[in-house]
Amino acid sequence: MLSERKIMVLHAIVDDYIRSAEPVGSRTIARRYNLGVSPATIRNEMADLEEIGYIIQPHISAGRIPSDKGYRFYVDVLMEPWVIPEQQRSDIQRRMETHKHEIELLVQEVSKLLSVLTNYVAVVLAPQIDLCMLERVQLMALDDYRVLVILVLHPGLVQNRIIRMPVKYDPEALPKISRQLTKRLQGVTYRDLRATLIKEIQGDYGELGSALLEVIASELADTKQEKVFLSGAISIFEQPEFRDLERAKGLLSLLEQKETVSNLINTLSRYSGVQVTIGRENPIEEIHECSVVTSTYSIGGEVIGAIGVIGPTRMEYANTYSVVEMLADSISEILSELIK
């Protein structure tokens, strides 16, 4: 549909604009990317490209910039994958390995890496326990009143909570109740745990057991909000498009709403593989001038979290794409290794 030359012109415009953040004029293209034609010819091509909506003229006496549609074409068709140098790859691997012992540290490290490697805002959603299935329940006596409840969830995540019984209890009874609970609750997702517990209160756990269940159920937070790790929020100030304070403020205040960010990344990474969402394709108005590159990561094949990068639509798509892809893969690998 597009002539070879139009594609080359579009490619040149996108590349140049990503690099310089300045509207690209016909003369610049003729000079810098030698297409073998004069500026006048390029002007004609640009007029056509504008007509079909791939590029935009901010004002009449300026060059052109890509539209969302133009970026989309670039990402889908033109972009050449960027290969991360082996050296850097192993650096990254090494830095992640260092933190593999504690999931939160690992996730935080990934977030830092993402922002450093891309120079955009990085978002990492910590492994989501909501849909994890319970593998084991263990109750442990701490003292006359307090009990430590340990919940081991399927792909190797552990939750614990100290609860306080209203009356003294018999520590001897705990192992049996633990076994019973494990049997009953195995396979229940964390999300459904509370409801299930409430049903089970009527079960044959004895007086202590029922009391325990009641306390545990009441102590479990109703909805467990997903943890979000942000890095590089400051980097938006490096982008000329956020030199305008109002716009920067808009994005920053969005980023402070962890839940919104978490929902956003979850929504955008719905499909497997790396997803690129450009400008107005985004569901949130505040980032209609941003693009988001996301991917999911998994433990042992189960998708359990997501990572993403938020930057201006004028983003280094190729580079960002590769980095997101690689980090998502790495984190999956390391986490999966842990539970083997």
Partner DNA sequence: TGTTAGCACTCTAACTCGGCGAGTGCTAAG
Partner DNA sequence: CTTAGCACTCGCCGAGTTAGAGTGCTAACA
Judged by the rule CB under 7 A, the positions of this chain that interact with DNA are 5, 22-28, 36-41, 43-44, 46-47, 50, 57, 59-64
Q: How far is the CB of 57 from DNA (least distance, A)?
A: 6
> Which positions from 125 through 164 interact with its own copies, judged by CB under 8 A?
136, 138, 140, 142, 146, 148, 150, 152, 156, 158, 160-162, 164
Looking from the CA of 268 toward its CB, the CA atoms found within 13 Å total 30
Q: Which of 324, 238, 237, 217 is nearest to 275 (CA)?
A: 324
Provide the mask over 203-242, with x wherever binding to its own copies is found by CB under 8 A and - wherever it is not: ----------------xxx---------xxxx--x-----
Q: How far is the CB of 140 from its own copies (least distance, A)?
A: 6
Taking CB within 5 to 8 Å according to partner kind, which of its own copies, DNA, none is near residue 26?
A: DNA
303 in Cβ contact with 296 (< 8 Å): yes
The secondary structure of residue 201, as a DSSP letter, is: T
Taking CB within 5 to 8 Å according to partner kind, which of its own copies, DNA, none is near residue 260?
A: none
17 in Cβ contact with 24 (< 8 Å): yes
Taking CB within 5 to 8 Å according to partner kind, which of DNA, its own copies, none is near residue 90?
A: none
Q: Which residue has the tokens 């909506």?
A: 53
Taking CB within 5 to 8 Å according to partner kind, which of its own copies, DNA, none is near residue 63?
A: DNA
Distances, alpha carbon 74 to alpha carbons 7, 12, 220, 257, in Å: 9, 10, 48, 31
Angle CA(49)–CA(51)–CA(52) in degrees, nearest 5?
70
Distance, in Å, from the CA atom of 277 to the CA atom of 291, rounded to the nearest integer, reads 5
The secondary structure of residue 293, as a DSSP letter, is: E
Member of 89, 199, 243, 270 binding its own copies (CB under 8 A): 243
Q: How far is the CB of 218 from its own copies (least distance, A)?
A: 9
> Looking at beta carbons only, is 99 or 280 nearer to its own copies?
99
> Looking at beta carbons only, is 47 or 339 nearer to DNA?
47
Q: How many residues does the chain have?
A: 340
Taking CB within 5 to 8 Å according to partner kind, which of DNA, its own copies, none is near residue 39?
A: DNA
Q: How far is the CB of 25 from DNA (least distance, A)?
A: 3
Provide the mask over 58-97, with x wherever binding to its own copies is found by CB under 8 A and - wherever it is not: ----------------------------------------
Q: Which residue has the tokens 């980090």?
A: 327
The edge-to-edge listing of strands for the beta sheet with 121-125 is 228-231, 121-125, 302-312, 290-299, 275-278
SS3 state at 310: strand
- Backbone φ and ψ for 33, nearest 5 degrees, come out as -110, 100
> Looking at beta carbons only, is 41 or 178 nearer to DNA?
41
| Size of site (CB under 8 A) for its own copies | 35
Q: How far is the CB of 237 from its own copies (least distance, A)?
A: 5
Q: How far is the CB of 255 from its own copies (least distance, A)?
A: 8
Q: Where are the beta strands (DSSP E) in the chain?
A: 55-56, 65-66, 121-125, 134-141, 146-153, 157-164, 228-231, 275-278, 290-299, 302-312
Provide the binding-site residues for its own copies, judged by CB under 8 A.
99, 101-102, 105, 136, 138, 140, 142, 146, 148, 150, 152, 156, 158, 160-162, 164, 219-221, 231-234, 237, 243, 245, 249, 252-253, 256, 338-340
